Structure 1
Amino acid sequence: MTATPSPNMTATPNPNMTATPNPNMTATPSPNMTTTPSPNMTATPSPNMTAVPGHNMTTTPGPNMTTTAQPATTAAKLEPNTTVESLQGAISRTDCGKSELCAAQPEDCDPSEAGSCFFVSAKRTNGQNFEFALAGESDGYVAASLSTDTALGGNDTTYVCANNNGMVQFFGAVLNNNVFMKTELNVNSVKGRVTGNKIECTFAATVPVSRNRASLSFSMAVSTGSFNNGTLGKPNTRIQTNIVDLSNSNSTVTNQIQTTTVTPTTTPSGAVVLQQSLSQALMISLGVLILAML
């Protein structure tokens, strides 16, 4: 006989009745069923259970989780050591535009060749650290300055290579109001030599922080001056560039100083030949004077 329950019949379970599940019975959840855990329920994962994160799942670290920081990418500043070693071989512009940013006066001159040439180059090694080469003609010193703007003299970091009785002596300095004040800079690996009145030196330096901290942009300057008993004379600027990225060897470099050289024509006896315009002016003045006397 089969018992068919009435649709309105309610089954009231006995409070002492225990339901014994069939060991072969499988509970199949409804697709719309939601399981709400008890507040005291603890979920114990199976040792073989693998958690596969959902596409939008976000992992929030617990209060006791330790995060390992990535190593810093900023290179350490160079330790100062301005002992000058002998420079073997002349500085040249071979790597200009390849691995070095260069500025020169005259433009494209090569300091390794004969003739006047003021030259500076910069090659980035890491972080704020660079290798520099500096050359120029002077009986006193040749200096390279870095300015965060195009106006020299606002405490600009300067590297000075001076001729001290035929040997290079190196100074760190800041340029302010056209006067050098010696100071210690993060410079080492200095090498130099003096050949006649040509001063050449190379060195490694940690450059200052530029106005835009994310870049390495400066105006470069090369200057010369006197050097007497350790005193640096006022600078005579030979090169002053536009703002350039020192780390970009292909930066466009323009010398902001326009130099005009006037070469007078002389007679074999050494007298200066007057320009035609000056001669004409003199003749006109004489003519006016003669007419006034008549």
Structure 2
Amino acid sequence: MTCRQVNITRDGCGVSKLCTETPNDCDPAGNSSCLFASLDAGTTMAPNGTLLSVELRGDSTGYIALGLTQNVSEGTTALFICAQNNGSFFFRTMSKNNTDETLTPTETITQEIRGMVNGDVIKCEFEIPNVNATMTRTTESTTFVILLGNGTTDGTALGPFMTLLNSGSLNVANPASNTGTTAAPGNGTTMSGADHPHAVPLLLSVLAAFLVFRA
């Protein structure tokens, strides 16, 4: 993990990378508040899964995070957390119980981690290898619900994750699979995939209610 200049822009959104953000169409390279993530998926091949290259930018004195899940109301969410402790960047992976919101440390394989902190702005880039949304080694799926949010930290413990954006079900291997995302209401509740007008139908079985990141 390195701390260095990280440049995150909207270049390639909808063409070479899938972008989600709140507020809609905010500029991650600008000075105004913008919680932004982009995902660039490599070639999908069974049985190894897909390599996801992720950019994440947001404003927080604690942490910002990207979550990948199949169902926001059951199973778990894999959280990838970029955080700061008095200006020093650090990275964590956690599992969020979608029923009771409990966070549990997990050793999700993540590589090429780079991050920087400038005041309250946190920017980071990382890669998630071997991503697959199904339980079988012969079938690959890149359909996920993407969650963006933030939380607090004292530099060691992480506070609860607050969802600020719920993308609905999207194919992360298709940069144009969304034409807009819906920010959660201000009271902290989240919009379900059914509330999203551009949500892709979730075809995965309940059996595969959690993610598989293969070593």
Name the TM-score class by shorter chain. 0.7 to 0.9
1:136 equivalent in structure 2: 58
Structure 1 regions of 5+ residues with no counterpart?
1-83, 262-294
| TM-score (ref. length: structure 2) | 0.76
C-alpha displacement of 1:110 = 1.3
In the TM superposition, what whole-angstrom CA distance separates every residue of 1:12-69 from its partner, at most 9, and x where no partner exists?
xxxxxxxxxxxxxxxxxxxxxxxxxxxxxxxxxxxxxxxxxxxxxxxxxxxxxxxxxx
2:32 equivalent in structure 1: 115
* Number of residue pairs the alignment of both structures matches: 177
Matched, 1:226 2:152: yes
Distance 1:85 1:259, change over 3 A: same
1:188 equivalent in structure 2: 111
In the TM superposition, what whole-angstrom CA distance separates every residue of 1:171-206 from its partner, at most 9, and x where no partner exists?
111111212211111111000001110111000102
CA RMSD of aligned residues (A): 2.0
1:178 equivalent in structure 2: 101
Larger radius of gyration: 1
| Contact 1:186 1:206 (C-alpha < 8 Å) held by counterparts | yes
Structure 1 residue corresponding to 2:75, chosen from 126, 150, 154: 154
Q: Distance in 2 between the 1:153 and 1:170 partners? A: 25
Q: Distance in 2 between the 1:185 and 1:240 partners? A: 21
Q: Distance in 1 between the 2:58 and 2:181 partners? A: 15
C-alpha displacement of 1:93 = 1.0
Structure 2 regions of 5+ residues with no counterpart?
45-49, 188-215
| Contact 2:132 2:140 (C-alpha < 8 Å) held by counterparts | no
C-alpha displacement of 1:215 = 2.3
Larger mean CA deviation between 228-237 and 211-220 belongs to 211-220
C-alpha displacement of 1:260 = 6.0
Distance 1:233 1:260, change over 3 A: closer
Question: In percent, how many aligned pairs have the same letter?
Answer: 27
| TM-score (ref. length: structure 1) | 0.56
Distance 1:205 1:152, change over 3 A: farther
User: Where is the strand percentage greater, Structure 1 or Structure 2?
Assistant: 2
C-alpha displacement of 1:207 = 5.4
Structure 1 residue corresponding to 2:12, chosen from 95, 108, 118: 95
Q: Residue 148 of structure 1 aligns to which amino acid in structure 2?
A: Q
**Which SS does the other structure have where 1:157 is aligned?**
strand
**Which SS does the other structure have where 1:228 is aligned?**
coil
Matched, 1:166 2:87: yes
Distance 1:167 1:192, change over 3 A: same
